[in-house]
Amino acid sequence: MEENDIQFHVREGVYPPAEDTFLLLDSIYSEIQGKVLEMGSGSGYLSVHLANRADMLIACDISLLAVKNTKENLVRNRIENSTDVLQTDLFLALADKRVFDFVIFNPPYLPADGNVTKEDRTYIGGIRGTEITEKFLKQAIKHLKPKGTIFVVVSSLADVESVWDSMRLLNLSADIINQKRLFFETLSILRGTPK
Domain range annotation of the chain: 2-194
For 43-68, what is the mean pLDDT?
A: 96
**Residue 52 DSSP one-character state:** T
* Helix H or strand E segment including 34: none
Predicted model pTM: 0.93
pLDDT band of 3, cuts 50, 70, 90: low
The pLDDT score that the predictor gives to residue 2 is 46
CA atoms within 13 A on the CB side of 95: 3
Distance, CA of 49 to CA of 37 (rounded, Å): 13
Is residue 104 within 8 A of residue 51, CB to CB? The reply is: no
Give the tens place of pLDDT for each residue, 99-140.
Answer: 999 999 999 987 787 766 666 667 778 889 899 999 999 999
**Per-residue pLDDT, 129:** 87
CATH fold label, 2-194: Rossmann fold (3.40.50)
Q: Which helix (H) or strand (E) holds 59?
A: strand 56-61
Q: Are 47 and 41 contacting, i.e. CB atoms less than 8 angstroms apart?
A: yes
The answer to whether 86 and 59 are in contact (CB under 8 A) is yes
User: Does the structure show a pLDDT above 70 at 6?
Assistant: yes
- SS3 category, 177: strand
The tens digit of pLDDT for each residue in 21-52 reads 999 999 999 999 999 999 999 999 999 999 99
| Mean pLDDT, rounded, for 173-191 | 96
Q: In this predicted structure, what is the pLDDT of residue 24?
A: 98
Whole-number Å distance between alpha carbons of 71 and 176: 31
Query: What is the C-alpha to C-alpha distance for residues 125 and 93, in angstroms, rounded to an integer?
Result: 21
Q: What is the CA radius of gyration of the chain?
A: 16
